[in-house]
Structure 1
Amino acid sequence: MLRAVVAGRAQISCSREPDLFIDGVPCCDQYLAHTLAHDGFIEPAYQGTVGTRVPATLTDAGEAALAPTTAAA
């Protein structure tokens, strides 16, 4: 889901329980989408009116979650 947000393929609904849409289709795991939003990994690119969809964007935490990790030697 985070990779779809980075690729610009995701929209998020403006609501208390934001739903995530990828390529215009609702995500099959809306529980995870809600968790990503509530835990601060994704957010609306800008505030829209309640019920509208706007582009989703990663937060700093979302970007950190996608950052490659280096294995300890």
Structure 2
Amino acid sequence: MRGVGEGVAMIVAEELSGRARAVLRAVAAGRAQLTGGCEPDLYIDGLPCCDQMVSHDLVRAGLLRGRREVGLYERTEALLTEAGRAAIS
């Protein structure tokens, strides 16, 4: 029997767009950074992500997070959460 978290990750994974999956793969590869704030901006390979709504949605869904808390204009490494890893596995 699967745990509740696994079921939620499976449902979320089924609803992710191709762009959202690509963002999660970039985060998994260590290529992404997040800024601070309640709506953090995502940078991939040092450049702003072209779809900030996707990155905001992924953070709100609990699929990615920053390594540490930073100020509004500071950046930190973006990391996948357990649910984020499950969503792209």
Do the structures match in fold with TM over 0.5? yes
1:1-73 equivalences in 2 (<5 Å): 1-67=23-89
Give the structure with the higher percent strand.
Answer: 1
Q: What TM-score do the two structures reach when normalised by structure 2?
A: 0.72
Identity of aligned residues (%): 48
- The unaligned stretches of length 5 or more in structure 2 are 1-22
Q: What TM-score do the two structures reach when normalised by structure 1?
A: 0.87
Give the structure with the higher percent helix.
Answer: 2
Which contiguous aligned blocks of 4+ residues in structure 1 show a shift greater than 6 angstroms?
none
Count of aligned pairs: 67
- The unaligned stretches of length 5 or more in structure 1 are 68-73
1:47 deviates by 1.4
Q: What are the superposed Cα offsets for residues 40-62 of structure 1, whole Å, 9 maximum, x if unpaired?
A: 00000111223211000000110
Q: Helix, strand or coil for the counterpart of 1:32? A: helix
